[in-house]
């Protein structure tokens, strides 16, 4: 069986300069006990930055699985499809 890293290799990206993933309210992240966005995202897009007290978003790594639309317990992530022509395509299958 392929690992997640191997599967991620099969994806091509055309990255937009503008993020399609927006943290609605960083105060909500500050209060969030679980910070589970760091766990449920298979592409490790979200990281809690303790020094800056904010969730950073590496949107360019997103594989558009859609999990964060329902995974954040506070529904604090706004997710929109990348603009036409941007985002990911799969090399195989
Ligand atoms: S799970 Fe949601 S509220 Fe918690 S840190 Fe992540 S984005 Fe913020
Ligand atoms: S859509 Fe999927 S890959 Fe992209 S940020 Fe959300 S959970 Fe991560």
The pLDDT tens digits along the chain (93 residues) read 567 777 776 666 666 777 889 999 999 999 999 999 999 999 999 999 999 999 999 998 898 888 998 999 999 999 876 666 666 666 665
Longest dimension (CA), the chain: 42
* Ligand found nearest the CA of 63: 2
Torsion from C-alpha of 66, 69, 72, 73, nearest 10 degrees = -130
pLDDT score at 92: 60
> What CATH number was assigned to the domain covering residues 16-90?
3.30.70.20
Residue 69 Cβ < 6 Å to ligand 2:
no
Q: Give the integer Cα–Cα distance in Å for 13 and 16.
A: 9
Residue 22 Cβ < 6 Å to ligand 2:
no
Q: Give the integer Cα–Cα distance in Å for 17 and 37.
A: 22
pLDDT score at 83: 67
Q: Give the integer Cα–Cα distance in Å for 12 and 32.
A: 33
Instruction: Please report, for the chain, the start and end positions of each structural domain, with discontinuous segments joined by +.
Output: 16-90
The DSSP secondary-structure symbol of 60 reads G
């Amino acid at each position: 069986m392929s690992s997640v890293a191997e599967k991620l290799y099969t994806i091509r990206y055309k990255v937009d300069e503008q993020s399609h993933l927006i943290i609605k309210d960083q105060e909500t992240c500050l209060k969030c006990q679980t910070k589970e966005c760091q766990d449920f995202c298979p592409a490790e897009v979200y990281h809690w930055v303790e020094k800056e007290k904010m969730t950073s978003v590496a949107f360019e790594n997103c594989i558009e699985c859609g999990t964060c639309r329902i995974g954040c317990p506070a529904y604090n992530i706004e997710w929109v499809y990348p603009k036409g022509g941007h985002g990911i395509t799969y090399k195989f299958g």
